[in-house]
Structure formats: structure tokens, C-alpha cells
Amino acid sequence: ATNEMLLRRILHRYSEEIVGTFSIKTFRFARRFLTFFFKRLLNAAASRNFRRLYTSRHQL
């Protein structure tokens, strides 16, 4: 039972730390930026032409 209690305390502490520092503006920016970045990267990799990463907007 002591291990379970210790685990609960650890989980509670980490969840409070994550929620306490969460910023919706940062989340929205990261989501938009990473979506754009990975779309461009994967489209360039799919055509095996990495110059497309910076030039055209080829879609999957």
C-alpha cells in the first residue's frame, strides 16, 4: 500500500506542475508550427526531393 501511495503523490505532483505552467498561446503556436513543419518535411520526403521543402506546396 505504501508503493501505491507514493505513486499517487508522484503523479499528483507532476500533474500539478504540468497544469500550472500550461499556456494556451504556446500550445496553439506549437500546434500550428509543427503541423506546417511536418507537412512540408513529409511532402518533400515522399517525393524524395528535399528542395521542395522550401519551394513548392506539394500535398499528399
- Whether pTM exceeds 0.85: no
Q: What are the distances in angstroms from CA 1 to CA 13, 15, 48?
A: 19, 21, 55
Q: What is the pLDDT of residues 4-30, one digit of tens each?
A: 999 999 999 999 988 888 889 999 999
46 near 60, Cβ under 8 Å?
A: yes
pLDDT of residue 22: 85
CA dihedral (5, 10, 14, 20) in degrees, to 10, reads 60
pLDDT of residue 21: 83
